[in-house]
Amino acid sequence: MLNQQNILIGMGGGIAAYKVCEVISSLFQQGVNVRVILTNTAQQFITPLTVSTLSRHQAYTDADFWQPIHSRPLHIELGEWANLFLIAPLTANTLGKLTSGLADNLLTNTVLASNCPILLAPAMNTDMWEQPTVQRNWQQLQEYSRYHTIGPGAGLLACDRVGSGRMAEPSEIITKLQSLLYTKGQQDFQGKRILISAGGTREYLDPVRFIGNPATGKMGLALAQASRDRGAVVTLIHGPIASELLPTPSNYRRIPVVSAGQMEKEMLTHFSEADIIIMSAAVADVKPAQYSQVKLPKNTLPKSLELESVSDIIAQLGKIKEPHQCLIGFAAQTGDIVTPAIDKLKRKQLDIIVANPVDQNNAGFGSDNNQAIFIHAKGQQKKIDSCSKLELAHQLLDFVAKIR
């Protein structure tokens, strides 16, 4: 999704600039052509030498901007070159300039000389971030379709304050950049309500033992991110997911659950308000027939475990689905993935099913990549070769948009 794309990065003056160095390095390693503009205040935190070393290209400063023109003006060339523009950290000063359309340095002149999507990643002290004037500027800038935002989050700041204003983490910024490059900033699911389930469920035998599966929730998180980046209002209902995988802050509603019963309750609660429902969670099929409130001693564990079925959530949803709703299921399979997927599609009255192999390298549970075959109830199929789960999520949304 990033290979050979042109990403221009504008760095403002703030301690969070050190995080942008990781973004630059990661983008270069993924095959991105990176160019960086540093404001004068940014150079108080990060040197042009550091940036040029990481990007393998000259870092641009205001000193370059005011040099005699040898060919075309620098801000024009950079603005036309970029497929995507990231401004991070976005300071209160630069935010105010962007809101007013001011252009008094290389960064702000290049913004006005470009037409590509711009991703803003603000970072500042909590009191600065919460100032009414800053919030007014922030809200006003988001009224323009070319501006996209990520963060800020909350946590321990460099000033030792705990609060909002913390710049998004590099991995989250890169994920957002990937989505914007895929969609070119278009929000074709604007106003759609998408309900997604993710991760595995746990069916406990006692307080410390459970029946589970290897699902990490990465596919569901990618679906939520892609949907939100395309303008949808997203509700994500998820089983236990490692905290480092969860976006902070998320720009969609997250509802954590543990068991299949809890997921069933939440899915049914929010089902009627959704236009598109994507059941990507790996829900347990069975649970222990008896639950012990206290930990069972090892020598008292049953030699054979009596099991009982749990409710089939997606089958229930298929029965109550309204004509305007699109219900999508996942079928994790080994061997022949198509035949059982089509059977599940029909039995559970789905509109689309995603058949994906879990016996292939770098696909399925726990992997960052996936591959699949999309199957529509009317027979259309689309094969997706191995790609990132975020790209697969976007391709599924493309399939939905084309079929519906």
Active site residues per annotation: 159
Residues 6+ apart with CB under 8 A from 369: 362, 363, 386, 387, 388, 389
The pairs formed by 346-349 with CB atoms below 8 angstroms and a separation of 24 or more are 346/377, 347/315, 348/312, 348/314, 348/315, 348/318, 349/315, 349/318, 349/319, 349/321
Bridge partners, residue 29, by sequence: none
In 3-state terms, what secondary structure has residue 314? helix
Quote the longest CA-to-CA distance of the chain. 84
Distance CA 284, CA 207 (A): 17
In 3-state terms, what secondary structure has residue 260? helix
Q: Which of 178, 154, 168, 63 is nearest to 121 (CA)?
A: 168
The one-letter amino acid code at 215 reads A
Is there a contact between 20 and 11 (Cβ–Cβ < 8 Å)? yes
Binding-site positions read 285, 295, 330, 344, 348
Q: Which of 202, 272, 264, 196 is nearest to 236 (CA)?
A: 196
Distance CA 223, CA 232 (A): 11
The one-letter amino acid code at 349 reads Q
Is there a contact between 337 and 318 (Cβ–Cβ < 8 Å)? no
Binding-site positions for CTP read 285, 295, 330, 344, 348
Is there a contact between 215 and 197 (Cβ–Cβ < 8 Å)? no
